[in-house]
């Protein structure tokens, strides 16, 4: 079970830090990831982190978003800076059990290979 929190409304250029609390041991999952889905849009993979702590990012968020995790607390984070109106969406965390490398996260998500995901937290960025 995954539960996201930390969403909200911010202005362009603002920041938010999303959290994802897991009922299990997140560092034992293959990879953990964040994706988003805006109204009328397809799911977009954003970032992933593997069991070694290596990360990968979509071009749309590279340099602005940072994925991290606290293994002791079983929490996954997404620090989002320099937010833009086009970042407005429902944000979800996910686990991908067969993933062994952060480089696999975005391709796995593009193919819909997600094993567990949460209900999401809403992010709204106003101009």
Gap between the Cα atoms of 80 and 18, Å rounded = 8
- For residue 30, what pLDDT is reported? 85
Contact 24, 44 (CB under 8 A): no
Residue 72: per-residue pLDDT: 86
Q: What is the largest CA-CA distance in the chain?
A: 40
Q: How far apart are CA 123 and CA 98, in angstroms?
A: 29
HSE-up of residue 94 (Cα within 13 Å, Cβ side): 27
- Burial track 43-70 (b if 16+ CB lie within 10 A, e otherwise): bbbbbbbbbeeebbbbeebeeebbbebe
How far apart (Å, rounded) are the C-alpha atoms in residues 125 and 13?
Answer: 9
pLDDT of residue 26: 66
pLDDT at 125: 98
pLDDT in tens, 7-60: 999 999 999 999 999 987 766 778 999 999 998 999 999 999 999 999 999 999
Instruction: State the pLDDT at residue 71.
Output: 85
Strands, DSSP E only, in the chain?
A: 2-5, 8-11, 16-22, 31-37, 44-50, 55-57, 65-70, 75-80, 89-96, 116-117, 121-126
Q: Which pLDDT tens digit goes with each residue over 60-79?
A: 999 999 999 998 889 999 99
- pLDDT given for residue 27 in this prediction: 64
């Amino acid at each position: 079970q995954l539960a996201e929190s930390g969403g909200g409304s911010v202005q362009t250029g603002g920041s938010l830090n999303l959290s994802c609390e897991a009922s299990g041991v997140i560092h034992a999952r293959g990879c953990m990831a964040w994706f988003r889905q805006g109204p009328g849009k397809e799911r977009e993979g954003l970032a992933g982190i593997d069991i070694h702590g290596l990360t990968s990012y979509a071009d749309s968020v590279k340099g602005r978003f940072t994925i991290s995790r606290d293994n002791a607390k079983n929490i996954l984070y997404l620090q989002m800076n320099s937010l833009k109106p086009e970042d407005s969406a429902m944000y979800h965390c996910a686990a991908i059990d067969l993933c062994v490398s952060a480089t696999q996260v975005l391709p796995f998500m593009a193919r819909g290979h997600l094993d567990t995901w949460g209900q999401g937290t809403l992010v709204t960025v106003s101009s």
